Every structure is written in C-alpha cells, then in structure tokens.
Structure 1
Amino acid sequence: MYNKVALAIAFSPRMEALISETKRLVQLFGSELILIHIGKKTEELEMKLDEIIVNAGLDKLKTKLIWKEGKPVKMIVQACREEDADLLVAGALKREKMLTYYMGSVGRKVIRKSPCSVLTLINPQITPNKFSKVVINGTQLEVTPRVIEQGLKFCQIEETSQVHILNEIKLYGLRMATASEGSEDEVSNTRRKLVQEEIKYVQEILDGLDQTGLRINIKVTAGKWAVELVRYCESINADLLIMGNSDSHTFIDRLFPHDLEEVLTELPCNLLIIK
C-alpha cells in the first residue's frame, strides 16, 4: 500500500518515539523509509542521528536520510515529491497544560500542500501499538469513495478489530424544518428516510470493496460533521481517524477546509489524511 514512507524529524524529545512508530508501519507495509530533517547538517548531528537509527534497529539499506535547509513546509513537501513518497508521518503538538492536541501552522500547511497522504501521531510511543479502533469519515464528498477504499485497505493490513464509518445528513436542519410543516408521522418518516439515504450511500461504496476480516459499523449523524467526528472518536476512544483532503470546487466541498481546520485544532486521536 505504501512503498515509501517519509518521516519529518527534528531533534526533539519525541523523535525516538516517532521513529519507533514509523518503523512499525514500515515493517507492516514493507516500505522504504525516508527520514527528512530540515536544518543545517553538522557532523555532531549526523552522528547523533546515526546512533538513533542504529538503536531503533532500522534497516540501513532501506533507510534514506535527507538533510535540507530552508523553510520547513517547502522543504518537507519538496523532499516528499522528489522521493515520490506515498505517506508522510509527522507529530502533532499538545497545548500547554492541556490534553488537547492540535496542528500548528507548519503542520496545517504540510497537510494542505503534501503530495502524499499524511499520518499525524498525537502521542507516539517507543513501544507502539496497532490501531485497533478506526473511524473513517463517510460524509458525502468527492473524495469519500477513495477515502473509504484506502481506509479499509489500511485497516485490513493493520488487522484493525473495529472500523466505524461516520456519515452526516447534509442540510438536516433545513430539510427537517420543511418536513415539520406536516404531521408527526411525516416528520418521523422524513427523518427515517434521510438516515436510510446516508446508510445506502456508504453501503453502495462498501459493496464494491473487499471487506474481508473487518467488522464495519455505519453511523449516521445529524450534527456538524467535523464536530461529530471529534465527539464520536472521543466517545469510542478511537486510535485513528481517517479523512480525505478535498481539492474540489463544489459548494459542499468548499466547506471542507474549514471543517478540517476544526478537526486539526481539537485532534481527538491520531489522524490519517488520504491524498
């Protein structure tokens, strides 16, 4: 699925944990590893990084180290493009004295401009665990069929025990307000029909995909989908949220970047953005 996995590293306290997490993924997908460091290359830093690579037990023959100087976002994106990376791994930040994780301006720009998928880890561990509870955004966007397809492939390789697909009823308030002019039964039937439509949308995508080994739960929400995604991930203690990055210019999809920003501000768990 991922032939080349890139990791943006800095000499921070979490670097070894990020390398350990990425090593697990590289072994899982049988990938080559590309380590990207933005900063001046010195003999001291080179020796330090080499020691970390050895201690982490990385395969040197399958590990490429890239040093670049310049603006972080531009250089990280450039390195991913030059190396034809399939997945970029990066760490999220934790707000001071709070348990809320978020992406700073560099992280947000990398997600928007990255030529490949991006996996953001909020709490990387030296001894990593697999993603056992995964939520996939099933809201009707142009990218959704691909997001679900790639999400399921990821979960199959990972052997994820629980997969939840969360879908939103678009314009729910407006449609229910119109229905409210009728009888109580008509309102109830309208609500039921809207839910069934969204379940059918996801089910039709699933029908054309391999679901072997996966337990899939389709959930429909009537609230603002970005907020509901965060709430749902928190309610089931999800390990990973999978979303897409839409470049579409339709009215509905133009709303997506703003909702993505909301998710990035209040990250409920690790986040995989499918490109």
Structure 2
Amino acid sequence: MYKKIGLAIAFSPRIEALIAEAKRLVLLFDAELLLIHIGEKTPELEDKLKEILINQGLNESNVRVSWKQGKPVKMLLQTCRDESVDLLVLGALKKEGFLTYYLGSVARKIIRKAPCSVLTLISPKIDGGSFSKVVINGTQLEVTPKVIEYGLDFCKIAGVQQVHILNEIKLYGLQMATAGEGSEEEVANTRRKLVQDEIEYVQQILNGLDKGDLRINIKVTAGKWSIELAKYCEVIQADLLIMGDNKDYSFIDRIFPHELENILENLPTNFLYIK
C-alpha cells in the first residue's frame, strides 16, 4: 500500500516519538523510511539524530535523511514529489491544527497540497502506539468509495479492532420531507427512511470490498458533518480519523475543503488524509 514513508522532522521534544511511530509504520507496510528536515544541517543536529536512530534500532542502511533549506511548505512538498513519497507523516498539536514546528495555515497547506496521503499524529509514543478505534468519513461525496476502500486496507494492515463509518442525514432532505402538515409518526417514518438510505449507501460500497476480520459499525447522524465527525471521535475515544481527497471536485464536493478546514482547526484525534 505504501512503499516509501516520509517523516517531516524538527528537533522538538517529540522527535524520537515520531521516529518510533514512523518505524512502526515502515514495518507494517514493508516500506522505506525517509526523514525530511527543512532547516540548517549542523554537526550537532546530525549527532543528535544519529543517537535517536540508534536508540530506535535504525541506521543509515535502513533510513535516509533529506536535509533541505528554504520555505517549509514548498520544500517539503517538493521533496515528497522528487522522492515519490506515498505517505507523509507529520506531528500535529490537537488544538488549532498546528504542526509542532510550523504555524497556522501552513499545516493545512501541506495537507491540501501534498502529492501523497498525509498522516498527522497528535500524540506519538516512543513505545509505538497502535490504532484500535478508527472512524472513516462516509458522507456521500464522489471520493467516498475510494476513502472507504483505502481506509479499510489501512485498517487491515494496521491491525485495527473496530471501524466506525460515519454518515449523515442530509438536513435539507429532512427539512423538505417534513415541511408539510404530516403527523409526528409520519415525520418519524420519514427520518427512519432517510437513515436507512444512508446505511444502504455505505453498505453497497462495503459489499464489493474485502473487509478481512474488521468489525465495522455504520453510524448515521444529523448535523454539520465535520462537527459530527469530531464529536463522534471524542465520544468513542477514536485514535484515528480517516478522510480523503479528490482533486476533481464535482458540484456537491465543492463544500468539502471548508469541512476539512473545520476538522483541522481542532483535530479530535490522529488524522489520515487519503490522496
């Protein structure tokens, strides 16, 4: 699935934890590891990095380091393109969607413009974390079948225990369907029909996929879906949220970038953005 994993590093207190997490992913996907540092290369930093790599059982034979200078976003994205990186791993703070070493919208620019999938980790662990409860965005968008397929492939390889696919009732559909003088029972029946339609949409996608041993739960909510995704992740204490991107947006997909912004403003958990 991923043949080359890039890890953006800065010499922050969490650098070893991020490298440990990247190593776990490399082993899971049998991939190469490329460390990318945008900043000055000094003997002190080289020595510090070498010490961390030794601590993690890594060395120059199984990991490469790319030292670049220039504008962080431009150089990081260019390196991913030049090196044919499949998955870029970033460290992120839970609030504001910041990278630990970049500020503000820079993090969002990287995720939006990256030529590959991006995994942001808000709480990397030196002893190697794992993903057990994963939420996948199942909202009806053109890209959703691809997101679910790739998301399940990731979950199978990562040994995930429980997958939740979250869909939504279209509020405008509910409002239009219940705008008349129908009884409470008729309104309730209409709502149940809309919920069932959304479940069937996801189920039809799942029917054509290899689900392995994954336990999959389909959940339908009503409300602004980016907000509902974040809420649901917090309620079930999910350790990964998976969304996706389609550069050729259809009319209905044009709202998607705005919903992504809402998610990134306050990351509810670790975040995989599939390209």
Do the aligned partners of residues 241 and 45 (structure 1) sit closer, same or farther apart at CA in structure 2, a change above 3 Å counting?
same
* CA distance in structure 1 between the aligned counterparts of 2:217 and 2:73, rounded to whole angstroms: 37
Structure 2 distance, partners of 1:240, 1:163, is: 10
CA distance in 2 between partners of 1:230 and 1:155 (Å): 19
Aligned to 2:38: 38
The aligned amino acid for 1:40 is E
Shift of 1:28: 1.0
Residues 167 and 218 of structure 1 are in contact (CA less than 8 Å); yes or no, is this contact kept in structure 2?
yes
Q: CA deviation at 1:211?
A: 0.8
Between the aligned partners of 2:75 and 2:32, the Cα distance in structure 1 is 20
Report SS of the residue matched to 1:93.
coil
Q: Secondary structure at the match of 1:28?
A: helix
Question: What SS does the aligned partner of 1:60 have?
Answer: coil
Equivalent residue, structure 2, for 1:266: 266
Deviation at 1:59, TM superposition (A): 4.8
State whether structure 2 residue 97 is matched by structure 1 residue 102: yes
Q: Which amino acid aligns with 1:212?
A: G
1:125 aligns with 2:120: no
Shift of 1:174: 4.9
Matched, 1:180 2:179: yes
State whether residues 132 and 160 of structure 2, in contact with CA within 8 Å, keep that contact through their aligned partners in structure 1: yes
CA contact (8 A) 1:101 1:122 kept: no
How far the C-alpha of 1:147 sits from its partner, in A, is 0.6
Q: Give me the whole-angstrom Cα distance separating, in 2, the residues matched to 1:44 and 1:237.
A: 39
- Residue 61 (structure 1) shift: 2.0
Q: AA paired with 1:9? A: I
CA distance in 2, matches of 1:19, 1:135: 24
Q: Specify the code of the residue in structure 2 equivalent to 1:53.
A: L
Paired residue type of 2:223? G
Partner of 2:199: 199
Aligned equivalents of 1:179, 1:86: Cα separation in 2: 46
Which residue pairs with 2:236 in the alignment?
Answer: 236
Tell me, yes or no, if the aligned pair for 1:248 and 1:254 is still in contact at 8 Å: no
CA distance in 1, matches of 2:125, 2:233: 20
Q: Write the letter of the residue equivalent to 1:222.
A: A
**Residue 274 of structure 1: how far off its partner (Å):** 0.3
Q: Which residue of 1 aligns with 2:101?
A: none
Shift in Å, 1:186 = 2.8
* Superposition misfits of 4+ residues, deviation over 4 angstroms: none
- Determine if contact 2:97/2:108 at 8 Å carries over to the other structure: no
Separation (CA, whole Å) in 1 of partners of 2:138 and 2:177: 25
Distance 1:248 1:220 in 2: 26
Give 1:101 shift: 5.7
Task: Give the whole-Å Cα distance in 1 for the aligned partners of 2:59 and 2:69.
Answer: 25
> What is the CA-CA distance between 1:176 and the residue it aligns to?
2.6
Partner of 1:24: 24
- Counterpart CA distance in 2 for 1:217 and 1:146 is 18
What is the identity percentage for the equivalent residue pairs of Structure 1 and Structure 2? 64
Residue 89 (structure 1) aligned with residue 89 (structure 2)? yes
Q: Give aligned pairs, total.
A: 269
Alignment of 1:111-190 (within 5 A): 111-170=111-170, 172-184=171-183, 185-190=185-190
Q: Distance between the aligned counterparts of 1:209 and 1:59, measured in 2?
A: 38
Report Cα offsets for 1:159-210 as digits up to 9, x if no partner.
111100000122x245334423142233222211111111111001000000
* Alignment correspondent of 2:53: 53
For 1:243 and 1:59, the matched residues in 2 are separated by 33
Give the unaligned 5+ runs of structure 1.
95-99
Equivalent residue number for residue 5 of structure 2: 5
